[in-house]
Amino acid sequence: VVAACMSNGLCVLHGAEGAGKSAVALEASVFLRQRHAFAHGIFVVDLQGTSQVKKILALVSSALRLAVPAQRSSDLVRQLATYRRCLLVLERCEAALTNAPKQFSWFLATVLRESHVSALLVTRAPLPPDAHIVIGADTSVGEIELGTLPHPHAARLLLSAARAHGRSIGRAQLRELAGRPQAGQAEEGSSAGCSSASDEEEEDPSVGGRLVRELAASEALRALGGNAGAVLGCAQALGADRD
């Protein structure tokens, strides 16, 4: 994502709900900000439920702290004339891309073509073909699909997140996970297979650790489908049980 933002005028980060798009976009933004990659800053704008360009302009104007809110795309471009380079992170763009794809595409095309602004779109679906045509005529576009986590990575995420909620995971917790409805899933997970490792060995979360291998192989974790949001929800539920 960092490389795509640096080498393209527009980067589109897309993936299923709960895949971790916002978390990845936030981490990329922090990385770029710490390295002063965009001279005039990085601005995050949440477009959830917003499809009207006027409302989008108002939200962007507020994020940029413009003295006079832009009423048209040309107004925004004019006020951005003094910006050498900045990055707009447009979160949750589904409504704009679904309900007003042409208007949103022309808005992006105008801003990206006539200013030194780059944009990172965070959305569930890829950029529509028509938007590619409108925007891509003058701006390089990079698309990144955020897929599901491999099972070992999901296991490590669950262990780390559970600890953050004050809950460690051992053999007993693996059995508990197997018997509870999984966060974000309609069905219950089935029993997880566990070896006869000692509790001390099972508590080792390092790469290749026995607990990671057992957890990654368990049907309880596999039922989460590698969805980062579901894994975090499961960890939160474990933490709530501790309270």
Cα three-residue angle 111-130-89, rounded to 5 degrees: 40
The confidence band for 169, taking pLDDT boundaries of 50, 70 and 90, is confident
Q: Flag whether pLDDT at 147 surpasses 90.
A: yes
> 125 vs 17, 19, 86, 119, CA distance in Å?
10, 12, 24, 16
Tens digits of residue pLDDT in 220-233: 889 899 999 999 98
**pTM, whole model, 2 decimals?**
0.78
Rounded to the nearest 5°, which phi and psi values hold at 18? 85, 5
| Residue 232, CA distances (Å) to 22, 237, 239 in order | 14, 9, 10
Segment 10-28, tens digit of pLDDT: 999 999 999 999 999 999 9
Question: Residues 77-125: pLDDT tens digits?
Answer: 999 888 889 999 999 999 999 999 999 999 999 999 999 999 999 999 9
Average pLDDT, the chain: 84
C-alpha to C-alpha distance for 85 and 36, rounded to whole angstroms: 10
Long-range contacts of 186-189 (CB under 8 A, 24+ apart): 187/223, 188/223, 189/218, 189/219, 189/220, 189/221, 189/222, 189/223
pLDDT score of 65: 92
pLDDT, residue 123, reads 97
Nearest to 26 by CA among 40, 44, 12: 44
For range 45-56, the mean pLDDT: 96
**Hey, what are 171's tokens?**
């053999």
What is the Cβ-side half-sphere exposure of residue 93, based on CA atoms within 13 angstroms? 31
**Could you tell me the two tokens for 186?**
């309609």
Instruction: Report in angstroms the alpha-carbon separations of 85 from 34, 38, 82, 123, 127.
Output: 15, 5, 9, 23, 23
Q: Is the pLDDT of residue 205 over 60?
A: no
At 171-195, the pLDDT tens digits run 677 666 666 554 443 333 332 333 3
- The rounded percent of the chain whose pLDDT value lies above 70 is 82
Closest CA to 231 of 183, 187, 196: 183
